[in-house]
Amino acid sequence: MVAVPVITGLGTAHPPSSTQDELWTGFFAGHFSGATRELGRRVFANSGVHQRQAVVNPLLEDVSQWPTESRMRRYQVEALPLGRQAVERALAAAGLAAADVGLFVVCSCTGYATPGLDILLARDLGMAADTQRMFVGHMGCYAALPGLGAASDFVTARSRPAVLLCAELTSLHLQPSTARMDTQQVICHALFSDAAAAAVVVPNARGYALREVASVTDTSTADHMTWDVTDTGFRMGLSAKVPQVLSRHVRGLVEELLTRHGTKLSEVDGWAVHPGGPRILTVVERELALPPEALAASRATLAEHGNCSSPTVLLILDRLRRAVSPPDRVVLLAFGPGLTLYTALLERHD
């Protein structure tokens, strides 16, 4: 009998929150200057974000001038407890001991450390010495989906549990202020937030079975989304053309996935769409002809937590599963550098 990979436990962890208004009036209104300040005011007000979380809150600590070395040291200090909390909650929800984990997958693009989070957390959590590990870096906002794919392939092949952790600390990469108009940085500073989210995948259990992970990459638009290591942290490049690229590919990708499993768009009752921003959600809603309520969980996650990069799609899935009437069939969608679109189909497994 082939093992069916099933998500049986989810766990999330967030640092302290600030409202979007507090962040604007208390820091960013002074951080931006000239015409950039007026642009920033409008972007912050229309971002769809009401509050965000940060391990380094700019209202308390301005790291915009910090060298990358200092930011990486802080990354390890902050990422370990946040990641541990998320994994412990996921394991508890699944009723699993850390020592039972066969594969530990960690996704993060906001920090580097060696030994990495995978090694240090495996040690701190009490995973076995023969637990296999995989670290996925620099995939950005879609990393949770290939991470889930790797975990699920392991479960299918080995019939042993796997754990996925996505941990991102975007607040460490606040960029220095500049006199020139920098629309991309204004948008990034208005959207991004910190979080950790973990998923436990086991064979043949109750939960959400992962049927398939699929992707498409449009390499002709590789320059539309970048994440460069600089002397003052990691700097994001974000083209205004990203929604146009998504609009060309998203319907074909999703329909092909569903067709392979004998499913129609109308039969999907749960959508976890990475909220790269309000325009991204609007494009997905339009191209897939979804009713307004279909992306309610994605919009609520954006409002309460901002764009947390790779953990975000798991945060939305956690919201969906905790609903009064959890969906039976869920499509996950996330987007990132490449430009790359990833999708996955989950079905309730009893």
Q: Which of 107, 109, 141, 188 is catalytic?
A: 141
The type of residue at 283 is V
Contact by Cβ (8 Å): 341, 215: yes
Residue 306 gets the label, from left (phi > 0), alpha (psi -120 to 50) or beta, of left
Contact by Cβ (8 Å): 328, 269: yes
Contact by Cβ (8 Å): 273, 330: no
The span from the CA of 54 to the CA of 105, in Å, is 23
In 3D, which of 163, 53, 43, 36 has the Cα closest to residue 99? 163
How crowded is the C-beta side of 311, counted as CA atoms within 13 Å? Answer: 36
- Could you tell me the maximum CA-CA distance found in the chain, to the nearest angstrom? 65
The type of residue at 200 is V
How large is the C-alpha radius of gyration of the chain? 19
Q: How far is CA 322 from CA 198, 273, 305, 317, in A?
A: 15, 17, 17, 9
Q: How far is CA 230 from CA 74, 176, 261, 286, in A?
A: 16, 11, 44, 37
The span from the CA of 16 to the CA of 57, in Å, is 8
Collapsed DSSP state (helix, strand, coil) of residue 34: coil
Collapsed DSSP state (helix, strand, coil) of residue 130: coil
Contact by Cβ (8 Å): 91, 98: yes
Other CB atoms within 10 Å distance of the CB of residue 208 = 28
The span from the CA of 48 to the CA of 43, in Å, is 9
| 141 classed as catalytic | yes
String of DSSP letters for 145-163: HHHHHHHHHHHHHH---EE
Instruction: Return the active site residues.
Output: 141
